[in-house]
Amino acid sequence: MLGARLREAGWGYAFVAVPIVVFGLFFVYPFGYAMYISFFHWGILGKQAGASGTFNYHAVLHDPIFHIALKNIAEYTIGVVPLEMALGLSLALVINQKIHGRNFFRSAFYFPSIASSVAITTIMLYIFNSDGLFNHIIGSHTPWFQSAGTAIWSLVGLNAWTTSGTVMIYYLAGLQAISTDVYEAAALDNTGAWRTFWKITFPLLRPAHFFVLVVFGIGALKLFDQAFIVGGGSGGPNNATQTPVLYIYRDAFSNFDFGKAAAAGVVLFVIIFTLTLVQRMTVGRQEAA
């Protein structure tokens, strides 16, 4: 039996070898590099004069702008992830059924995800302008994406909408794995549609939930692109669109303070890692081998 176990382990390593090498080279090494330089004064061309130490971490953790960035990203993530999951799951359930024009609806729901973000962001900025379509309808004059108070929530709405198609695809795949016997049994027991969903489908989607929660949760915590476009790269107005990754980016590519950027990166990693561990131990717990 030991021979069989060894052989299985051998195959296991063989199957994951290439991915592990790729990840090692292009993620683990750069992160190790970041951890290293976070203790130095580091410029574009490498190490600069000055002693080593934890001063970069001190600077980052005591920077009020970094605190604002953390607060913003927390609000954003708590807002966007449940919304994305709910939207994506709803859409998947809808188009999983035999409805007329199924292909059309599948394509329509998937559209915002595949349209280039230039087009989508432009249209959204246009519609939510201070004198745009949305304000015409509700009778307001607020520039939604440009006001300090509403910028983050406008981003939540925008991104939840554009990623719903992608989440839908993942849930759609997950739904296919649920055997139809389960539904037939529920029907024979005269279980209502809602009950069937809540007590049977939803729990059976647990691996999909864990996946979406982790991947899109981490994605939310790493928000950069739209915050950059909407805030003009400065994190404005008044730091309303400041995010941790934007903070790292500016420290690295505007201020050329690579040591401090690396420190911020390590701090962010620790935060995300802890949160993911918590998710693993709650939602992802039931993982058979």
Partner 1 sequence: MRKRLGVILGLLIAVVLLAATAQAGTRGSKVTTITLSGWSSGPDEDALLQQVVNNFNKSHPSIHVDYSVINGDYGTAMTARFAAHNPPDVFYVDSSVAGSWAQQGVLQPLNRYIKSSKYDTSKFFPSLLGAFTVGKTIYGFPKDWSPLAMEINKGMLGQAGGKAPTNWASLLKVAQTMAAKNVTNGGKPICLSPDWARMLAFVYQAGGSLSNLTSPAAAAAVNFYVGLMNKGLATTPDKLGSGWCGEALGKGKAAIIFEGNWVLPYMKSTYPNVQYGVFPMIKDKTGGNLAFTVSYSLAKDSKNKPAAWTLLSWLTGKQGMTQWVSKGLALPSRSDVKAIGGRQAFLSAAPYAHGWGFGNPHFSAAYTVMNNDLTAVIAGSKSVAAMLSDVASALKG
Partner 2 sequence: MTLQTSVAAAEPFIPGRARAAVARKAFFYVVIAVVAAVFFIPFLWTLATSFKTIPDSVNVHLIPHPWTSSAWRAIWTQYDFKLYIKNSLFLAVVVTGCNLVLSGLGGYAFARLKFPGRELLFLLVLGTLMVPDQLRLIPVFVMLTNWHLIGSFSGYILINLVTATNLFFMRQYFLTIPKDFEEAAKLDGAGPIKTFWKIMLPLALPAISALVILQFQGTWNDFFWPLILFGQGSPHLYTVQLGLAELNFTYSTLWPQICAGSVIAILPILVVFLAFQRYFISGVVSAGVKG
**Near partner 2 in 11-30, by CB under 8 A:** 11-13, 15-16, 18-20, 22-23, 25-30
Question: What are the residues facing 47 on neighbouring strands?
Answer: 42
Determine the 3-state secondary structure of 43 from DSSP.
strand
Determine which residue in the list 153, 256, 272, 276 makes contact with partner 1, applying CB under 8 A: 256
Told to check if 72 binds partner 1 by CB under 8 A, we report no
Q: Which of the stretches 72-80, 148-156, 174-182, 231-239 binds partner 2 when contact is defined by CB under 8 A?
A: 174-182
The torsion angles phi and psi of 46, rounded to 5 degrees, stand at: 115, -155
CB neighbours of 57 closer than 8 A, spacing ≥ 6? 38, 263, 266, 267
Residues 104-163 that bind partner 2 (CB under 8 A): 104-120, 122-123, 126, 132-133
Alpha helices in 139-192 (DSSP H): 151-176, 180-188
Question: What residue has token string 């890692």?
Answer: 273
Residues 1 and 5: their CA atoms lie apart, in Å, by: 6
Answer for which of 44, 49, 137, 288 binds partner 1 (CB under 8 A) is 44
Using CA atoms, how far apart are residues 237 and 281, in angstroms rounded to an integer? 38
Give the CA distances from residue 177 to residues 7, 98, 171, 174, in Å, rounded to whole numbers and listed in that order: 29, 17, 10, 6
For partner 1, the binding residues in 225-254 under the rule CB under 8 A are: 234-239, 249-250, 252-254
Piece of the chain touching partner 2 by CB under 8 A; list 71-79, 143-151, 152-160, 258-266: 258-266
Q: At its nearest, how many Å lie between partner 2 and the CB of residue 163?
A: 11
Amino acid, single-letter form, for residue 278: V
Shortest CB 238 distance to partner 2, Å: 23
SS3 89: helix
261 near partner 2, rule: CB under 8 A: yes
Closest approach of Cβ 191 to partner 2, in Å?
A: 8
**The only residue of 121, 129, 159, 201 in contact with partner 1, by rule CB under 8 A:** 129
